[in-house]
Chain A
Amino acid sequence: MGIAMIICDQIITEDKTNKKSLMGCFNNVSAAQFPTAPMNCAVFVALTDGHGAYQGKLECVNEDAGREPIFGMGGPVVFANPLQTIELGFKLVNLSFPKPGTHAITFSCDGEIILHRRFTVKQIAPNEVMP
């Protein structure tokens, strides 16, 4: 049912064609101090082969800190038919991470995790160049 979950800097929609471009896909976040300075990013989720309505939920937790919740939100995801692809673009503004560690973003439908993505938030020296 889950096709893709991409973490990126931003999602751009082309006006005429409605095509989506995912800019600056990443798996790591580096910061010199914690909590990190507020950052903007986006999570692109694509789903298909669904039957009817589900309760969708996007969650982010820090797995190295006892699954400490970073953010989470939910809402109905309704498929007209299984051939439909539902794309969701979550634009996250002022996102901050309290601690370093391996983080996971999951998208679940009716409590069942269908997309799961890990990324690392690591501490770097103040003068170190961020990758």
Chain B
Amino acid sequence: MIAIESPLLQFGQDFAEVTGAPTNKVSGVGEEPFISYTELMCVFAPLVFSITEMSDNEVVQLAESSASFAFLDSPEEDIYNDLLKSKE
């Protein structure tokens, strides 16, 4: 496996210039089915973008819902409940 990190790979750039070319993997192999794998890592320049800030209420609401395990109590969400019922 070849894993070479490219600092910035832009549109149209030659991946053989910055990564391992597949040719590295195919020499010296006879006439039989075989697989070569080449891994290419392409790191794009991170974009600077604005984030819309959430209101305090939205943050609280999301925090509450993310920390809630209420769904465990709702029978329709619990497949084990159905299994138990079927056994009863």
Contacts and interface: CB of A to CB of B under 8 A. Distances in A.
A73 B11 CA distance: 6
A72 B46 contact: no
Contact of B14 (A37, A73, A79, A83): A73
Interface string B31-56: 11111111111111111010110100
B58 interface: yes
A1 interface: no
Given A75-B21, A80-B29, A88 B38 contact: yes
B60 interface: no
Interface residues of B, number: 40
B31 A81 contact: yes
A85 B35 contact: yes
A80 B27 contact: yes
Nearest to A33: B52
Contact of A89 (B37, B45, B52): B37
Contacts of A96: 44, 46-47, 49
A76 B58 contact: no
A35 interface: yes
Interface string A4-29: 00000001010000101000000000
Interface string B1-45: 100000001011111110101110111010111111111111111
Contacts of B19: 75
15 contacts: A13-B1, A18-B1, A38-B44, A69-B11, A72-B11, A72-B12, A74-B14, A75-B21, A76-B22, A80-B29, A83-B31, A83-B32, A84-B35, A90-B40, A94-B47
